Chain A
Amino acid sequence: MTMLEVKDLHASVAGTKILKGLDLTIQPGEIHCIMGPNGSGKSTLSRVLAGHEDYEVNDGLVTYRGMSLLDMEAHERAREGYFLAFQYPVEIPGVSGMQFLRASVNAIRKHHGLEELDAMDLMGVFREKAKLVDLDLNSLKRSVNEGFSGGEKKRNEMFQMAVLEPRMCVLDEIDSGLDIDALKIVANTVNTMRSPERSTLIITHYQRLLEYIVPDYVHVMFDGRIVKSGGKELAHKLEAEGYGWIEQNEQMVV
């Protein structure tokens, strides 16, 4: 079964059209990367697919593992294994990382008819996953993302991804503002979790994360559509030549 199939997706926010007929197909086990200049609609795509209410879908179809993704609530998507690592992880004062993950893990388990885990069981899971992202478990006592640095917040996202073990992982600009060590933690998480049953979509402006993660496909997004697709060599061309040639091509087409 195809993991994710996006067909002719049109979406807008506050009346402004952002996505203008986007197509994308991801098979299980694949790692895809969408690159594009600022304002091309990359983050809009990630939010629309995760079910953010501020975005209006005007047209198109999205099928996720045989289900109509756009007909599902945000929490239903998550329960079916769809995961978005946020570009700007949200701070939630007063809710500890522990409470947050407990609510999340148990909501998903309950959905699948599994017994809820108590604090003890959860700690076992957390201890194992914390090693992968080099996370200090004591930080889970603190409020979600509150007072964490940009890099630490992204690490928290990777920890959540490792704990929830989703089928479809979408990483929205996970690399922005990260130093090399943090970048390696992200790459290590994605590479370790790589499996024939799991797919990953990396959305980024820069090529540098791809020095550590080798994608199967690279797509270039421009003005709300995928305008070019290829292998990892496409990323190198973008790194060397920038986005200018894409824009020129597009303008010529118009």
Chain B
Amino acid sequence: MIEVMEQTELYLGAEITRGPAWSTERRQSARKRFRELGVPHGRQESWRFTNPRKITALEAVPAAAEGVANLTAERVAEYLLPDTAWSLVFDNGIFRADLSSRDGMPEGVHIEPLASGEPAELGDIENSHAFTTLNDAMWTDGVSVRVDDGVVVEGLIQFIFTGDGDGGTPAVHTRNLIKLGAGAKLNLVESYRGRGVYWTNAVTDVDLGENAELTHFFQQLESEQACHTSRFRVTQSPASTLNTHNLLIGGDLARRDIDIALVGEGAHAGIDGLYVVHDTQLSDMHITVDHAVPECTSEQYIKGILDNKSRGVFCGRVIVAQDAQKTDARQTNRNLLLSDDAHVNTMPQLEIYADDVKCAHGATTGQLDRDALFYLQSRGVDEVAARDLLLFAFANELIDRLPSEGIREHAEAFLEHRFHSARQLGE
């Protein structure tokens, strides 16, 4: 185990100059701030139930700027969703133009790798969330998307980020920037895949203009030896709509932070999440929805299926500012524990400073319904198949809400495979 100080320097690496020149100054402030914040540890409130030791124990080093060229077209084909129209592929944080497909992108959509594109406005560096600050300092690449006012993009755009632990344990810091103009519409998939031991630390910032609509599918299917931390920050203008669907399956430790700022009246944020974990996996979702202005709506619908000794953490925070009257905020977290050793910590937090609001939250943790199991068995379905059917039923509510048929089929197939291989291990 290396010292905390050394760990901080390990994460920052030796090189001061990394990435495009326009980002240098910002990186330097971020390095300074990261040194002050230090590497997170389990005694910090925000990491109370998710000890980051699994991340630090990896002793991951910044992914080499030149990258490794292990990713093949065959693997990319496996990662592509059936209805993807355009894709941008990154291997250990390095853009792979040869594996990407950007042809025929509609007019008014500006999409490019962040590191080699136009200088981008990344905002202030993160002040308190150390891994985001580290990302500010160390990002290698990612996608910058700008959609002009009124442009509706019908096809699906998929970002694929792969981690590869072949030849070292890389820390892959990915940075994405998505900006939708007024009335623009976009369907986006963020896929995180990989093999072996590595650490993904991604930040995606979204800015939705007035009446803009983003449908977002986040697929965290990392290697089960890897660690994953990601941050999704969204700022919503009046009457804009965000629907983000999060499927969280991989990673030995995976933490996803979602921060939504509803700063324009009449905006809506829908946040779906499904985490499915087994063995000693830990999946953490921290969601904050900030209702800063009146008449916005938000719905968090998060479900978890936990087997073996796995752990789940859900922290859902809703803040309703004093002026944010007529807010309608809902939050649900349901967990299904398949083993006596599985464990979940669920923490709904409502901070309401306005008086004319509708806020509802509910959290449940239970086991498979034994009566339903017996009912199925009494109709000839064996116990394993009956359990599978009930698991699918639990997950299906969220699968059904996925934005397209192709995405639904892919998610179903993945879950089927996952439950099936989990069974084989158990036998």
- Across the interface, A164 reaches (CB within 8 A) one of B369, B372, B379, B392, namely B379
- B384-427: contact bitstring with A at CB < 8 Å (1 yes, 0 no)? 01100110111011000000000000000000000000000000
Chain A residues whose C-beta falls within 8 Å of the C-beta of B396 in the assembled complex: 94
**Which chain B residue lies CB-closest to A103?**
B381
Q: Which residue of A lies closest to B384 (CB)?
A: A75
Is A51 an interface residue, CB under 8 A from the partner?
A: yes
In the assembled complex, A228 has its CB within 8 A of some CB on chain B: no
B397 close to A104 (CB less than 8 A):
no
Interface residues of A in 35-91 (CB under 8 A from B): 50-53, 73-75, 77-79, 83-84, 86, 89-91
Docked Cα-Cα span, A84 to B371, in Å, equals: 14
A92-B393, A93-B393 known; A104 and B372 CB under 8 Å? no
Instruction: Check A111 for interface membership: any CB of B closer than 8 A.
Output: yes
Cβ-defined partner of B380 (8 Å) among A78, A90, A92, A144: A78
Bound Cα distance from A79 to B394, whole angstroms: 26
> A107–B394 contact, CB under 8 A?
no
For residue A243, give the distance in angstroms from its CB to the closest CB of chain B.
Answer: 29
Note all chain A residues with C-beta closer than 8 A to B393. 92-95, 143
Q: Report the Cα distance A99→B385, complex, angstroms.
A: 12
Residue numbers in A under 8 Å from B394 (CB-CB): 94
Residues of A within 8 A of B392 (CB): 94-95
Q: What separation, in Å, do the CA atoms of A78 and B396 have in the docked complex? A: 27
Q: Which residue of B lies closest to A47 (CB)?
A: B374
Whether A75 contacts B389 in the complex (CB less than 8 A), given A90-B372, A94-B396, comes out as no
Flag whether B376 is at the interface (Cβ < 8 A).
Answer: yes
Alpha-carbon distance between A143 and B372 when the two chains are bound, in angstroms: 12
User: Which residue from B371, B374, B379, B390 sits with its C-beta under 8 Å from A104?
Assistant: B379
B-facing residues in A1-60 (Cβ within 8 Å): 50-53
Across the interface, do B374 and A52 meet the contact criterion of CB distance under 8 Å? yes
- B353 contacts the other chain (Cβ, under 8 Å)? no
Q: Which residues of chain B have C-beta atoms less than 8 A from A143's C-beta? A: 393
12 new A-B pairs (CB below 8 Å) besides A83-B378, A90-B372? A73-B383, A74-B374, A75-B377, A75-B381, A77-B378, A78-B380, A86-B378, A92-B372, A95-B390, A103-B379, A103-B389, A107-B381
23 residue pairs A–B, Cβ–Cβ below 8 Å: A51-B377, A51-B378, A53-B370, A73-B377, A73-B382, A73-B383, A74-B374, A75-B382, A77-B378, A78-B377, A86-B375, A89-B375, A90-B371, A90-B375, A92-B369, A94-B392, A94-B393, A94-B396, A95-B392, A95-B393, A103-B376, A111-B380, A160-B379
Ranked nearest first, the 5 interchain pairs of A and B with the lowest CB-CB distance are A94-B393, A78-B380, A104-B379, A74-B377, A90-B375
